[in-house]
Amino acid sequence: MGGILTSLNTSYTGLQAHQAMVDTTGNNIANANDEFYSRQKVILKPQTPLDKGTYHLGSGVQIESIMRAHDEFIFQRYGRAAQEKEFYQTQFDKLRETSSLFPDLEGVGIYEDLQQYFNAWKDLSKNTSDPAQKQILIQATQTLMRSIHSAYDNLAGMQKKTSQELALRIEEVNRIGEQIANINKQLGIKESKVDLIKANDLRDQRDKLEFQLKELIGGSVFKSNLKSDIGINSRNIDYGENYVLNVAGGFNIVDGINFHPLTVKESHKGNGLNHVYFKNQDHHPVDITNYLLDGKIGGLIKLYADGIDGTTPGKMQKYIDMLDTFARTFIETTNNIYAQSATKNIESNSVELSRDQSLINSQYNIRKGSFDIVIYDSDGEEIGVKTITISPTTSIEDVVQQINSNTDDNADQNSLNDIDDYFSANFNSQTGKFQIIAKNQDSVYIGIRDKGTNFAGSLGINRFFDGNNSKNISINESYVQDPTKLRAWGAPSSGNTDVANMIQQMQYDDLVFQTGKNSFQEMQLTQYYQLLGGEISTDTQAIQTTLDTKTALFAAAKQEHQSISQVSVDEEMVNLIKFQSGYAANAKVVSTIDKMIDTLLGIKQ
């Protein structure tokens, strides 16, 4: 039909449309400072025209929907840039804090204490009978032990603190994941595929939570029916039931309206560091720690993981391992030298060896080669030497048999003055101790002179140091209780200072640092310690360089995302003027029609 009232309705729809556009523009301006608010736009379409036979007469405008400016592809790229940046930012912050634990390698701490320790041995070599000098050596050694323990405690404490932070971050992931699932549920209620109703604010909230989740743990998001243009066919949007967010390469923590939380549990091995678990469909927890490679959580795991229970060792564990290697080499080299100091009987630490186990293939750093059993009389004169060979198949029982074998050690055709005539070796599998015991009370002394096997040092035979790493290194308690028992000699004679001289010379010698079963490095003791500090510094600088790159990429991705979604106040002000003018124009049409109606009524009267 149509008529003047139809014309009035046409202008009325224009008023409504422009009112909606003004309201939407005002909402954009009000939220201009919200990073995750996507600017919105009113999508219009003409109303169904009136059929006039030979032509169609327009009947006004219809609001189809209010769409948000959002490009899902660019937003996902922005999220990936954020998770990479957070990964390296987390690592850099922790490594910078770790490097502060080693502030001045040549002025304080372990480096300086090492110098004092070796100087104390040097001073003892000048006066081996002075009890006060022995006490000074013990004190210098204890100071060094405290520094090593402190370095270990600092690294282990940092590792534990980083592990504990992971638990807090996982709590955040669960909180955010649950909120996303709830939003998906609300979207399913508030949005309509038929009526084209959009819950734009809910989608902005979900984007914000999704972005925060990617910063924390990374992951991938899958949505169906996606398009990027602000003027898209409004039916082709992603609805909550088609939303999937997975982490660790395929574990869905959000599946539409369903949320599957992650759990954290301390390992029962090692230092009890945290592992992350996902509960599978059969409710069996799956350890996904090794697969979390992104975001803050990935950065934390790559720092603190200790390699126990299948995890890949992180950087902090590498530093602890290097400190342990430093301490173990220091312990074993010193003990190897100190084992040469002749004494009445020989005894090892309690070791974990079976009688027929290959020494080279054991957990101890024993290498192929040989060592000498040397015996002295009460005047310090060498009266016998027996060479013991260690091959790849040699066991502790083989060593015992070699020592006890009836051989002419002095090559003098005398069967009564050889090693086996004075001493007897044995290995007690119950106590785990290797011993060489004098057969009588004669004033005969025995020592072990190593030729590269590390036999005495690794088994702690007649040791100066106890322990085998930076956590448990300590002085043999007998010397702490009575420093006068310290032996500076090699041969037990007055004025002999061979052991004291060799130990203080050790600081200048290249030592063998065994970093793996078949991996060795040769360098001075202080050089290896400096290598540890240098490793931390190098890692920190490398991470900082990468972080700078990732930060630049993040800034570019953010700018690209904001160019599409962020509100431009200047642009909105221009729109406001344009929509206001449109509203005024439609109001003018209404006013004109009102006058036309008045004219008609006047004619009728």
For residue 108, the tally of other CB atoms under 10 A from its CB is 12
The four Cα atoms 335, 338, 340, 342 give a dihedral, to 10 degrees, of -130
The pLDDT of residue 296 is above 70: yes
Q: Are 89 and 43 in contact, with CB atoms under 8 Å apart?
A: no
pLDDT tens, position by position, 503-548: 999 999 999 998 877 788 999 999 999 898 889 989 999 999 999 9
Q: How confident is the model at residue 261 (pLDDT cuts 50, 70, 90)?
A: very high
Q: Which residues pair with 522 in a beta bridge?
A: 512
pLDDT at 284: 85
Q: Comparing 74-83, 218-227, 582-591, which segment has the lowest mean pLDDT?
A: 218-227
- Could you tell me the two tokens for 95? 């490594």
pLDDT at 233: 43
CA distance 539 to 553: 21
Q: Comparing 33-37, 99-103, 559-563, which segment has the lowest mean pLDDT?
A: 99-103
Percent of residues, the chain, with pLDDT higher than 90: 63
Q: Comparing 3-12, 228-237, 557-566, which segment has the lowest mean pLDDT?
A: 228-237
Cα 284 to chain centroid distance, Å, stands at: 26
CA distance 260 to 279: 7
**Residue type at position 466:** D
pLDDT at 37: 93
pLDDT at 236: 40
Q: Which residue has the higher pLDDT, 392 or 58?
A: 392
pLDDT at 397: 95
| Location of structure tokens 């564990």 | 317
CA distance 305 to 10: 69
The secondary structure of 225-259, three-state, reads CCCCCCCCCCCCCCCHHHCEEEECCCEEEEECCEE
CA distance 315 to 504: 33
pLDDT tens, position by position, 94-121: 999 988 877 655 556 888 999 999 999 9
Count of residues in the chain: 605
Helix (H) or strand (E) holding 520: strand 519-523
Reported pTM: 0.86
> Does residue 275 sit in helix, strand or coil?
strand
Angle at 308 between CA 263 and CA 316, to 5 degrees: 90
Q: Is 120 exposed, middle or buried (0-12, 13-18, 19+ CB in 10 A)?
A: buried
Average pLDDT across the chain, whole number: 89
The four Cα atoms 580, 581, 587, 588 give a dihedral, to 10 degrees, of 160
Cα 503 to chain centroid distance, Å, stands at: 38
